[in-house]
Amino acid sequence: MPPDQVPYSRSLVIPLVVPSSATPVSPEAKLKLSLSYKYFRGIKKMKFTKKKLIPYLVLILSTISILRFLRISITTYSSPPLPALPPIEETCSSPSSVCSKTPIHAPEYSTYSLIKTSSNANNQLTEKEFQLLSKLITHRAPCNLLVFGLEPQYLLLSSINAGGTTIFLDDDAEKVSTIKTNTNTSRIYKVEHQIPAKDAYRLLKHARKSKACLPTSGHLQESKCRLALKNLPQQVYELKWDVVVVDGPIGNAPEAPGRMAAIYTASMIARKGNETDVVVHDVDRMVEKWFSWEFLCDENLVSSKGRFWNFRIRGQSNSTSFCPANYYVQ
């Protein structure tokens, strides 16, 4: 580029006035000029460096603040909520007597049940999950309530279902013998669940191929389907259930008893009634999700909260399939 086309730029640094070589300068003057020039350059360099450091300082301080916030959040993490307070129950000495509203005290639990409950927090219902159940039962009470599983929180449901029939089914002999209900219309039964959760896929294929597992196959106690629970209390087969809760057996490990048979049996029981709400817990787990889709059907899902799915089954159907369009597991 020709010299006359070079754009003119002015230096931002103010030049020092240095005497020309023609002017005699004493050694002391040269030393002062040299020191002042170095000092001036040092100041400019320091200012430039500090300006560059500002963004880094802001980044460091921001990172420290975020880490402190995360530490506070972790240390203040709350434990699973306790069950809601028991409702007010109308207690009657006889059907014709005048009812008086009195507060129901929570049932007394043994040391065993309290320790096992606190050590197995994953089985605890959250406040929202318990509200879903309590509102459902309040709406349908007095009703016939069947619960697969026996957690202390569920005993409050029998109080809500005052005047109705509540049956709990559990395979833990120690829980069955130590936890007591607080109403005359509630019963707790020991049942057997021997099929491990690891057999879920094999049993699902069996149910799809076997005519004995169809919803029109007949009485559960005489069923040839390997998913049918045939040794439950006689009352379970005789009554028409309004609400069925599936939260047992535990099913939290491959070797642990799974809920495949409980969900299948609940679906068969529900189809005997007029309209039955089947509520399945722990649907974040694969077995509960598979078998709920297969036997309770996605189109029957009316609400969900947390790890609960609430299916509403309309019974008295002659359909030969559980769902119009099954979600097959490949």
For 21-72, the pLDDT digits (tens) are: 555 656 666 555 555 555 445 544 555 566 677 888 878 887 887 876 666 5
CA dist., res. 32 & res. 115, Å (int): 84
Structure tokens at 266: 């609940």
Q: What pLDDT shows up at residue 30?
A: 57
Q: What pLDDT shows up at residue 66?
A: 80
Q: What pLDDT shows up at residue 33?
A: 54
Give 240-298 as a DSSP string: PPSEEEE--S---STTSBPSHHHHHHHHHHHTTSSEEEEEEE-TTSHHHHHHHHHHT-G
Domains of the chain, by residue range, sit at: 26-65, 116-314
pLDDT at 84 over 60: no
Which of the following CATH numbers is that of domain 116-314: 3.40.50, 3.50.30, 1.10.12, 1.10.150? 3.40.50
| pLDDT single digits (tens) 257-308 | 999 999 999 999 999 888 999 999 999 999 999 999 999 999 999 999 999 9
Q: What pLDDT shows up at residue 42?
A: 52
* CA quadruple 237, 241, 243, 247: dihedral, nearest 10: 0
Q: What pLDDT shows up at residue 116?
A: 37
Q: What pLDDT shows up at residue 32?
A: 57
Q: What pLDDT shows up at residue 49?
A: 64
Report the first-to-last Cα separation within the chain, whole angstroms. 73
pTM: 0.64
